Amino acid sequence: MALMTGEQYVESLRKLKLNIYMLGEKIDNPIDNPILRPSLNSVKMTYDLAQVPEYEDLMTATSKLTGNKINRFLNLHQSTDDLVKKVKMQRLLGQKTAACFQRCVGMDAINAVYSTTYETDQKCGTNYHENFKKFVEYAEENDLTIDGAMTDPKGDRGLSPSKQADPDLYLRVVERREDGVVVRGAKAHQTGICNSHEVLVLPTVSMKPEDKDYAIAFSVPTDTEGITMIIGRQSCDTRKLEKDADLDVGNKVFGGVEALVVFDNVFVPNDRIFLNGETEFAGMVVERFAGYHRQSYGGCKVGVGDVLIGAAALAAEYNGAAKASHIKDKLIEMMHLNETLYSCGIACSAEGQKTEAGNYQIDLLLANVCKQNITRFPYEITRLAEDIAGGLMVTMPSEQDFKNPATKDMLEKYLKGVDSVPTMDRMKILRLIENLCLGTAAVGYRTESMHGAGSPQAQRIMISRQGNLAHKKELAKDIARIDK
- The set of catalytic residues is 100, 104, 191, 258, 293, 297, 300, 448
CA distance 5 to 429: 31
Q: How many degrees, rounded to 5, is the angle at CA 243 between CA 238 and CA 245?
A: 65
- Contact of 139 with 106, CB cutoff 8 Å: no
Burial environment of residue 228 by CB neighbours within 10 A (0 to 12, 13 to 18, 19 or more)? middle
How far is it, in rounded angstroms, from Cα 95 to Cα 52? 16
Backbone angles phi, psi at 231, to 5 degrees: -70, 135
Angle between helices 104-124 and 128-142 (to 10 degrees): 150
Q: What are the start-end ranges of the E strands in 131-258?
A: 146-149, 172-177, 180-187, 198-201, 216-221, 227-231
β partners of residue 21: 26, 230
The SS3 assignment for 200 reads strand
Q: What is the dihedral of CA 396, 397, 400, 402, to 10 degrees?
A: -80
Q: How many CA atoms lie within 13 A of 59 on its CB side?
A: 20
Q: What is the largest CA-CA distance in the chain?
A: 85
Q: Are 323 and 316 in contact (CB under 8 A)?
A: no
Question: Distance between CA atoms of 180 and 178, rounded to whole angstroms?
Answer: 6
Alpha carbons 423 and 250: distance in angstroms, whole number: 15
| Residues 63 and 219: beta-carbon distance below 8 Å | no
